Amino acid sequence: MPTIKQSNSFQTVITTFEMTPGTCQDLLDELTAAYDEFISKQPGFIGAGLHVNDAQTRIANYSQWQRREDFQAMLRSNEMRVRNRRFNELCKSFEPVMYDVAATFS
């Protein structure tokens, strides 16, 4: 399960996808399958969440990894390269960005 804490040493990745309402559910299905079938089984994977905006024009994906190298290895795998090409067909753009937790509030 993802944990958002400033003190953790995990690698946080936030990926935003931009699409049309007509392809939102298809992309969400593809992302869900990717997590169920492949990503969640990769070394270093901690957890992730998918978020859809009301207009169904954006999906935000939050994931955490033990190390930066774990995420990079998953991205470079043949399986993920094929899946990323499919994601690209269903959306206008997507961009994974690595972050460090700067602050948390409750």
**pLDDT value of position 8:** 72
pLDDT at site 7: 66
Q: Could you list the residue range(s) of the whole structural domain that residue 79 is in? A: 11-99
The answer to the question of residue 46 being in a domain is yes
Which CATH number characterizes residue 88's domain?
3.30.70.100
Kindly state whether residue 79 falls inside one of the protein's structural domains.
Answer: yes
Q: What is the pLDDT of residue 1?
A: 65
In angstroms, rounded to a whole number, what is the distance separating the alpha carbons of residues 5 and 19?
30
Report the pLDDT value the prediction gives residue 79, as an integer from 0 to 100: 98
Q: Has residue 81 been placed in a domain?
A: yes
Whether 1 is covered by a domain: the verdict is no
Provide the token pair at 17.
């996808």
Q: Considering the domain boundaries, does residue 64 fall inside one?
A: yes
Q: How many domains does the chain have?
A: 1
6 occurs within a structural domain: no
Q: What is the pLDDT of residue 5?
A: 67
Find all residues with CB under 8 Å of 68, minimum gap 6, and list them: 11, 98
Residue-level pLDDT, tens digit, the chain, 106 residues: 666 666 677 899 999 999 999 999 999 999 999 999 999 999 999 999 999 999 999 999 999 999 999 999 999 999 999 999 999 999 999 999 999 888 888 7
Residue 80 in any domain: the answer is: yes
Can you spell out the DSSP letters for 50-86?
EEE-TTSSEEEEEEEES-HHHHHHHHHSHHHHHHHHH
Assigned domain for 18 exists: yes
